[in-house]
């Protein structure tokens, strides 16, 4: 008989999920569990964000203990569990050891890792964000200026989420922005507003022409070209503030690691 509620095809056949699987992963955060275990939040290309257990990892005899650290790309073998999957094997594919040597690079690595963690869903493919974070860690490890790298990452993340800020046309009337415009930055509207539209002053800030040009550079240029730009420090700071407000709007709150990053940068021994 046709027309029943069930499809008459093989879609109902229960295909067993393999119990064991392998994946590339970057550790985003972790917390201690019990005497010797650790729960890790991982970023993976195909499963997005996953929480897994590394059992016995804090014992000195652990075979995987030294491998499952942040700021490294890992090759993992896992077994599916009821609540958390369990790591059974771990090897380091990329160690990025240099970025840990400089405090500002390490603080920036935490910051962009946290942005990735907030931006990605659990158990949903995250190829663009994974590739972006991997490249960012590689660039930090190669000695790229952390502040330029962080802005480039913020732009890339907005892109990956389909929320790239508009910096060429007015977000309200679509008019191409002229060089003599009185620009305003309105993250809630997605970018730059031209002077034709009055708006609530709390939600908008003035944007200088220099900062607009730098935002356009972040949008158009690759990181190597961006790193070579000569920019006045006040323009750099203004752009940083504008993008932070944009990210706060995009992810609906400030990153926890920002306070630490700012502290590191303000310290007198930081350079
Ligand atoms: Zn307009």
| CA–CA dist 146, 202 (Å, integer) | 30
Ligand 1 being an ion, which residues bring their Cβ within 5 A of it? 170, 172-173, 194, 196
Cα 183 to averaged position of ligand 1 atoms, centre (Å): 10
- For residue range 203-247, what is the model confidence (pLDDT) as tens digits? 678 899 999 999 999 999 999 999 999 999 999 999 999 999 999
| Backbone phi, psi, residue 49, to 5° | -90, 130
User: How much of the chain exceeds pLDDT 90, in percent?
Assistant: 68
- Report how far ligand 1's centroid is from the alpha carbon of 264 (Å): 39
How far apart CA 205 and CA 186 sit, in angstroms, is 7
Domains of the chain (ranges plus CATH)? Answer: 20-140 (2.40.50.140), 160-257 (no CATH)
State in Å: Cα 252 to ligand 1 middle. Answer: 25
Tokens linked to 168 = 């060429």
Distance of CA 44 to the CA centre of its chain: 13
State the pLDDT at residue 49: 95
The C-alpha atoms of residue 207 and residue 184 are separated, in whole angstroms, by 5
């Amino acid at each position: 008989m046709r027309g029943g509620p069930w499809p008459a095809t093989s879609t109902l056949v229960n295909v067993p999920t393999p119990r064991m699987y392998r994946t590339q992963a970057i550790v985003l955060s972790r917390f201690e569990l019990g005497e010797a275990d650790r729960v890790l939040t991982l970023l993976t290309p195909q499963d997005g964000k996953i929480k897994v257990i590394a059992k016995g990892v804090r014992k000195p005899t652990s075979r995987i203990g030294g491998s499952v650290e942040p700021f490294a790309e890992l090759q993992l073998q896992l077994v599916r569990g009821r609540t958390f999957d369990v790591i059974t094997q771990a090897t380091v594919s990329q160690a990025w050891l240099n970025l840990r040597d400089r405090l500002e690079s390490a603080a920036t690595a935490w910051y962009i890792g946290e942005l990735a963690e907030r931006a990605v869903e659990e158990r949903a493919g995250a190829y663009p964000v994974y590739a972006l974070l991997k490249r960012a860690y590689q660039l930090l490890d190669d000695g790229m200026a952390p502040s330029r790298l962080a802005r480039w990452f913020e732009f890339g993340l907005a892109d990956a989420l389909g929320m790239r800020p508009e910096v060429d046309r007015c977000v309200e009337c679509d008019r191409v922005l002229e060089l003599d415009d009185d620009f305003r930055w309105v993250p809630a509207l997605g970018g730059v507003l031209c002077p034709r539209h009055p708006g609530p002053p709390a939600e908008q800030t003035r944007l200088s022409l220099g900062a607009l040009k730098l935002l356009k550079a972040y949008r158009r240029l690759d990181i190597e070209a961006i790193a070579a730009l000569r920019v006045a420090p006040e323009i750099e700071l203004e752009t940083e503030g504008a993008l932070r407000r944009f990210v706060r709007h995009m992810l609906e709150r400030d990153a926890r690691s920002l306070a630490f990053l700012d502290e590191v940068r303000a310290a007198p021994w930081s350079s």
